[in-house]
């Protein structure tokens, strides 16, 4: 990679028209961000694996005082931890939109900020918005987002925006203000999610590494220069140490090559396996062309950041500080940064025109197909939700999502659907996460043990092997404690014949799942 000197910043709405110059206009940037929201505009609550579970937690967070049915079982305690981004936005939006509207607004703001962050980083490092930056936007809808990691995704979006602002301050020579900004922004992003704070440090550190590398500074002087610019990012270290010391969810485990291989193929994993992998191949072709082409000039700092993301993806285990999929989360951002690093070496080159057009087409096609995929996933959700109308308020629901023996490519949108019963029917459900220090929600219902928290709701089909964490549906039903639940709600791959525990009868017209109520 050769260092790239950014072209002069073109004022938004200015008159200079380089190749793809229209992408620099305000209206074009706003249109790109709007297109990035298309998958969320066709659904209500996005059909992400964990999001309905978060909806239940947010109902407790914002409305517990008005929900007596939830009060015996749940509590929410605000505490300074590095995992509160979505919770804070929901708290802000709730007076305007209610709990469900606040969750929807939070997800939309998260993706809009992510798209804007990618575009502004491209503009900061190249002096213009490149078509490859737009091709990076669909990666915001990659595997981590489809799992519903909203706090994480929000923190990464904020890190991109903070990085672009920091670059702007340093370009104008305001080093002191840049350091102050890095400290304030880093602390705020840490509150949203620890990974976003670390990502901002990686971006800023990569920029300083590229700078001292270009200047060929002595290693000791180089280290001092990097530390002098980035030390304000160390501010959250103190609350993080206190937080982790008080938490029991600090496990680091699960490094395995087979997982790495699956995640490598899953950066764009959404709905159709062959199409998602073909899309990944298109990105690989674009990046391969960029590495070999003389029409490309890479931004060194962004390229280093992309490589470091890849290195950390390979080095990290599956679980860090109690957060699962710690390694998988980084891969879409490594690819996004690699695309953003691509800049024009020879303006007007035919190869640049062809590749840039392909990048824009990729952006349009992926956003259109992701919109269709979200609509299909949401149809599964809507088909199961009629069960809520058949439950009384304050029900105690044993919820089970029946999983196939082998994980399917499309993520399961029904796994935490029980959160909707918390939000709409004030019901106790057994799918909430309970890891001290990881989230502020507390669950208490001793009579229902062990069917109280995640993952007690995840079971497998009758033809599957049982494991320590997942048993067959029939086994789970046989183990339900008597009298603890008023209803049983089953979704997913339900067998044709289900034998409920004694005293439970099937409720008709309960949607695509099965609902059973305890006889009076």
| Coil vs helix vs strand at 496 | coil
**Which domain does 443 fall in, by range?**
383-518
pLDDT, position 100: 96
Residue 303 has pLDDT above 70, yes or no: yes
Residue 178 has pLDDT above 60, yes or no: yes
Residue 272 has pLDDT above 60, yes or no: yes
For the stretch 107-124, pLDDT in tens is: 999 999 999 999 999 999
Do residue 343 and residue 404 come from a single domain? no
What is the percentage of the chain residues whose pLDDT exceeds 70? Answer: 92
Do residue 428 and residue 512 come from a single domain? yes
For the stretch 314-362, pLDDT in tens is: 888 777 766 677 778 889 999 999 999 998 776 567 888 888 899 999 9
The residue-averaged pLDDT of 219-248 equals 73
Selected residue with higher pLDDT from 39 and 237: 39
> pLDDT band for position 309 (50/70/90)?
confident
- Asked if residue 13 is part of any domain, the answer here is no
Alpha carbon distance 291, 398 (integer Å) = 54
Do residue 149 and residue 296 come from a single domain? yes
Do residue 269 and residue 288 come from a single domain? yes
pLDDT, position 228: 73
Among the three residues 376, 400, 429, which one is the final residue of a domain in this structure? 376
Tokens of 517: 């109520």
Among the three residues 348, 376, 404, which one is the final residue of a domain in this structure? 376
Number of domains the chain is built from: 2
Among the three residues 339, 361, 376, which one is the final residue of a domain in this structure? 376
Do residue 407 and residue 365 come from a single domain? no
Sequence-distant (≥ 6) Cβ neighbours of residue 473 within 8 angstroms? 400, 402, 459, 460, 461, 462, 490, 494, 495, 498
> pLDDT band for position 437 (50/70/90)?
low
> pLDDT band for position 275 (50/70/90)?
very high
- Asked if residue 240 is part of any domain, the answer here is yes
| Phi/psi of residue 399, nearest 5 degrees | -100, 135
Are residues 81 and 437 in contact, defined by beta-carbon separation less than 8 angstroms? yes
Are residues 343 and 367 in contact, defined by beta-carbon separation less than 8 angstroms? no
- Asked if residue 239 is part of any domain, the answer here is yes
Selected residue with higher pLDDT from 303 and 247: 303
Dihedral sign for Cα atoms in the order 1, 33, 196, 281: negative
| Coil vs helix vs strand at 16 | coil
Are residues 466 and 459 in contact, defined by beta-carbon separation less than 8 angstroms? no
- Name the average pLDDT for the chain: 88
DSSP state letter for 517: E
Q: Which residues of 91-130 form beta strands (DSSP E)?
A: none
Partners of residue 297 on adjacent β-strands: 343
* Helices 350-384 and 26-36, axial angle in degrees (round to 10): 40
- Asked if residue 194 is part of any domain, the answer here is yes
The residue-averaged pLDDT of 460-484 equals 91
Residue 158 has pLDDT above 90, yes or no: yes
Residue 235 has pLDDT above 60, yes or no: yes
What is the percentage of the chain residues whose pLDDT exceeds 90? Answer: 62
Do residue 280 and residue 413 come from a single domain? no
* Residue 321, phi-psi category: left (phi > 0), alpha (psi -120 to 50), beta (remainder): left
Do residue 256 and residue 145 come from a single domain? yes
């Amino acid at each position: 990679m050769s260092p790239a000197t950014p072209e002069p910043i073109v004022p938004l709405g200015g008159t200079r028209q380089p190749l793809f110059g229209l992408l620099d206009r305000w209206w074009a940037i706003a249109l790109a961000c709007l297109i990035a929201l298309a998958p969320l505009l066709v659904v209500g609550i996005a059909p992400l694996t964990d999001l309905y579970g978060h909806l239940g937690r947010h109902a407790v967070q914002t409305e517990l005082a008005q929900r007596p049915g939830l009060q015996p079982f749940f509590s929410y305690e605000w505490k300074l931890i590095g995992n509160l981004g979505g919770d804070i936005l929901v708290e802000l939006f709730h007076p305007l939109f209610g709990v469900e509207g606040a969750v929807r607004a939070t997800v939309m703001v998260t993706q809009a900020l992510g798209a804007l962050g990618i575009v502004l980083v491209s503009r900061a490092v190249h002096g213009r918005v490149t078509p490859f930056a737009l091709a990076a936007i669909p990666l915001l809808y990659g595997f981590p987002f489809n799992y519903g990691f909203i706090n994480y995704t929000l923190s990464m979006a904020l890190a991109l925006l903070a990085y672009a602002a920091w670059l702007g301050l340093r370009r104008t020579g305001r080093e002191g203000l840049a350091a102050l900004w890095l400290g304030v922004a880093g602390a705020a992003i840490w509150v949203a999610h620890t990974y976003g704070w670390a990502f901002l440090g990686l971006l800023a550190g990569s920029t300083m590494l590229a700078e001292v590398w270009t200047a060929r500074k002595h290693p000791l002087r180089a280290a001092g220069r990097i530390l002098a610019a980035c030390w304000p990012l160390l501010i959250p270290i103190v609350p993080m140490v206190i937080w982790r010391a008080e938490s029991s969810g600090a496990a680091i485990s699960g490094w395995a090559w087979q997982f790495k291989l699956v995640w490598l193929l899953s950066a764009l994993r959404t709905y159709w396996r062959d199409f998602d992998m073909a899309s990944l191949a298109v990105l690989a072709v674009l990046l391969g062309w960029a590495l070999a082409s003389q029409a490309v000039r890479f931004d060194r700092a962004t390229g280093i950041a992309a490589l470091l993301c890849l290195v950390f993806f390979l080095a990290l285990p599956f679980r860090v500080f109690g957060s699962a999929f710690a390694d998988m989360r980084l891969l879409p951002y490594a690819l996004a940064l690699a695309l953003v690093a691509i800049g024009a070496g020879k303006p007007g080159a035919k190869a640049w025109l062809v590749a840039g057009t392909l990048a824009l087409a990729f952006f349009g096609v992926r956003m259109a197909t992701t919109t269709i995929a979200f609509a299909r996933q949401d149809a599964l959700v809507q088909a199961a939700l009629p069960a809520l109308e058949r439950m009384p308020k304050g029900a105690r629901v044993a919820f089970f999502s029946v999983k196939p023996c082998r994980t399917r490519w499309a993520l399961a949108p029904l796994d935490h659907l029980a959160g909707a019963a918390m939000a709409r029917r004030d019901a106790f459900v057994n799918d909430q996460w309970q890891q001290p220090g990881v989230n502020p929600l507390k669950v208490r219902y001793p009579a229902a043990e062990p069917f109280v928290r995640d993952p007690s709701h995840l079971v497998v089909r009758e033809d599957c092997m049982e494991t320590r964490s997942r048993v067959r549906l029939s086994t789970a039903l046989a183990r339900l404690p008597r009298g603890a639940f008023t209803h049983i709600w089953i979704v997913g791959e339900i067998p044709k014949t289900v034998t409920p525990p004694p005293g439970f009868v099937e409720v008709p017209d309960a949607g695509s799942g099965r609902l059973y109520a305890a006889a009076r």
